[in-house]
């Protein structure tokens, strides 16, 4: 049943408009990038790893004994065993991965030279790069993870499904909808033998992106989440500041759009009842008695996100923008009170994103 449900979800996604556009790649792109992607067998990967050891001159008995011990670990994936082999034989690679995995060490801001070296073999650079990108992805360092992973191809690594999955995670987190869609389609279609967890998360990311719209409150919340992530990584530089300006600009645009919608809903006479010409309380026949079944029993609170053009929606967005503008000048208690009032009635996702955004703004300000 679980597989059946997943198949239905994936089928629905594959016929969606975004998927359809992603599949319209040129014949040349398909010839270069698309096709069946199968992971290397344990035997084939082991042979490649052993050949690499020979290339770098690691043929002594101690190294071979350690190599054999690594490849006897049947519970480890092929990628894990290749990574362990590289780490065992190359101290520089061991240090690189240790630093990438350590949350106490500042996240890198560029691709390490070790992964750019033309002297190293393609096997070494591709698989070490994938392991490095995976480590960064686990720390939510998506920019450098994506840059590293895009420097190699899925066909060059021992586990193409892991390559596509971690690339999709980074693209999705960085809001690169088009690229993430293409990568996930390739994961679902070409890497057919990928683990179920990759397929499930990939399908969920694809489903999530189908609902993305440009410049709505959800879009703003996603940008706030990205800013919060960057501030958490101590990346409050020009790019983060640019994203913060985009948030303010989008809030302005959304306020204007919602106000325009509200104005268009008013009667031509300008009475401002905002009910598209219907009488109040659901009375559509004009007899003044109203239809009880159409009366709302609980009016929507201003703090909640209403429908398009609702006054609560406009006020909500205005309050967010006001708090963004004034945050740096407010004392801590006033900030918390304003934040609590602002997020009252919001969905859990919006509330968490906006609270984290503002609290990380405060942390960034304290560090300066």
pLDDT digit string (tens) for 222-251?
Answer: 888 888 888 888 787 888 888 888 888 888
pLDDT exceeds 60 at position 76 = yes
Distance between CA atoms of residues 212 and 16, nearest Å: 13
pLDDT exceeds 80 at position 89 = yes
- Give the pLDDT score at 349: 63
Distance between CA atoms of residues 368 and 364, nearest Å: 7
- Give the pLDDT score at 212: 87
Tokens standing for 60?
């002594």
- Give the pLDDT score at 364: 54
Q: Confidence band (pLDDT; 50, 70, 90) for 33?
A: very low
Distance between CA atoms of residues 43 and 20, nearest Å: 38
- Give the pLDDT score at 336: 80
Tokens standing for 324?
């963004």
Global confidence as pTM = 0.66
Task: Write the CB contacts of 305 (distance below 8 Å, at least 6 apart in sequence).
Answer: 217, 312, 313, 316, 345, 346, 347, 350
Q: Which residue has the higher pLDDT, 288 or 195?
A: 195
pLDDT exceeds 60 at position 24 = no
**Is residue 330 left, alpha or beta, with left meaning phi > 0 and alpha meaning psi from -120 to 50?**
beta
Mean pLDDT confidence for 47-62: 96
In the DSSP assignment, the letter for residue 214 is: S
pLDDT exceeds 60 at position 101 = yes
- For the chain, give every residue range classified as CATH 1.20.120: 217-267+304-367
pLDDT exceeds 60 at position 296 = no
Which of 90-99, 117-126, 195-204, 225-234 is the least confident region? 225-234
- Give the pLDDT score at 11: 46
Distance between CA atoms of residues 37 and 194, nearest Å: 9
Q: Spell out a b/e string for 125-135, using b for 16 or more CB atoms within 10 Å of the CB, else e.
A: bbbbbbbbbbb
Q: Confidence band (pLDDT; 50, 70, 90) for 360?
A: low
Mean pLDDT confidence for 63-71: 97
pLDDT in tens, 259-286: 787 777 765 655 444 444 444 444 434 4
pLDDT exceeds 50 at position 287 = no
- Give the pLDDT score at 361: 64
Widest CA span in the chain = 97
pLDDT exceeds 60 at position 126 = yes
Mapping DSSP onto H, E and C, the string for the chain reads CHHHHHHHHHHHHHCCHHHHHHCCCCHHHHHHHCCCCCCCCHHHHHHHHHHHHHHCCCCCHHHHHHHHHHHCCCCCCHHHHHHHHHHHHCHHHHHHHHHHHCCCCCCCCCCCHHHCCCCCCHHHHHHHHHHHHHHHHHCCCHHHHHHHHCCCCHHHCCCHHHHHHHHHHHHHHCCCHHHHHHHHHHHHHCCCCCCHHHHHHHHHHHHHHHCCCCCCHHHHHHHHHHHHHHHHCCCCCHHHHHHHHHHHHHHHHHHHHHHHHHHHCCCCCCCCCCCCCCCHHHCCCCCCCCCHHHCCCCCCCCCCCCCCCCHHHHHHHHHHHHHHHHHHHCCHHHHHHHHHHHHCCCCHHHHHHHHHHHHHHHHHHHHC
- Give the pLDDT score at 221: 81
In the DSSP assignment, the letter for residue 299 is: P
Mean pLDDT value across the chain: 77
In the DSSP assignment, the letter for residue 296 is: -
- Give the pLDDT score at 8: 40
Distance between CA atoms of residues 50 and 283, nearest Å: 81
Which of 51-55, 90-94, 288-292 is the least confident region? 288-292
DSSP per-residue codes, 136-157: HHHTT-HHHHHHHHTTS-GGGS
- For 165, counting Cβ atoms within 10 Å of its Cβ (0-12 exposed, 13-18 middle, 19+ buried), the class is buried
- Give the pLDDT score at 202: 93
Provide the Cα torsion 86, 92, 96, 99; round to 10°. 120
217-267+304-367, CATH topology level: 1.20.120
- Give the pLDDT score at 122: 93
Mean pLDDT confidence for 205-209: 90
pLDDT in tens, 134-154: 999 999 999 999 999 999 999
- Between the ranges 8-12, 13-17, 114-118, where is the mean pLDDT highest? 114-118
pLDDT exceeds 70 at position 113 = yes
Q: What angle do CA 348, 353, 356 make, to 5 degrees?
A: 120
Q: Which residue has the higher pLDDT, 180 or 303?
A: 180
- Give the pLDDT score at 301: 38
- Give the pLDDT score at 365: 53
Tokens standing for 285?
């026949």
């Amino acid at each position: 049943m679980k597989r059946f449900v997943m198949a239905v979800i994936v089928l629905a996604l594959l016929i969606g408009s975004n998927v359809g556009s992603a599949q319209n790649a040129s014949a040349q792109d398909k010839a270069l990038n698309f096709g069946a992607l199968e992971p290397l067998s344990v035997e084939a990967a082991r042979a490649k790893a052993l050949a690499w050891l020979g290339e770098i001159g690691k043929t002594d008995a101690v190294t071979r004994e350690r190599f054999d011990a690594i490849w006897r670990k049947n519970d480890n994936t092929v990628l894990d065993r290749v990574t362990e082999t590289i780490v065992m034989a190359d101290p520089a690679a061991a240090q690189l991965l240790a630093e990438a995995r350590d949350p106490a060490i500042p996240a890198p801001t560029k691709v390490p030279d070790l992964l750019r070296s033309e002297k190293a073999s393609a096997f070494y650079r591709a698989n070490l790069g994938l392991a490095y990108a995976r480590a960064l992805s686990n720390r939510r360092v998506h920019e450098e993870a994506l840059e590293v992973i895009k420097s190699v191809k899925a066909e060059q690594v021992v586990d193409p499904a892991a390559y596509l999955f971690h690339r999709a995670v980074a693209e999705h987190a960085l809001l690169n909808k088009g690229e993430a869609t293409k990568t996930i389609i390739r994961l679902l279609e070409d890497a057919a033998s990928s683990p179920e967890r990759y397929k499930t998360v990939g399908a969920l990311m694809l489903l999530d992106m189908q609902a993305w719209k440009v410049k709505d409150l959800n879009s703003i919340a996603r940008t706030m989440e990205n800013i919060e992530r960057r501030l958490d990584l101590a990346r409050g530089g020009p790019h983060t500041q640019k994203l913060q300006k985009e948030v303010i600009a989008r809030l302005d645009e959304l306020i204007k759009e919602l106000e325009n919608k509200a104005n268009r809903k008013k009667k031509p006479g300008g009475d401002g009842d905002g009910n598209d010409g219907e009488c109040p309380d659901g009375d559509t026949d004009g007899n003044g008695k109203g239809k009880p079944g159409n009366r709302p029993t609980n009016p929507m609170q201003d703090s909640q996100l209403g429908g398009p053009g609702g006054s609560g929606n406009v006020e909500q967005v205005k309050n967010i923008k006001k708090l963004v503008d004034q945050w740096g000048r407010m004392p801590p208690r006033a900030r918390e009170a304003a934040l609590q009032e602002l997020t009252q009635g919001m969905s859990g996702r919006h509330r968490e994103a906006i609270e984290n955004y503002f609290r990380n703004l405060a942390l960034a300000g304290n560090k300066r």
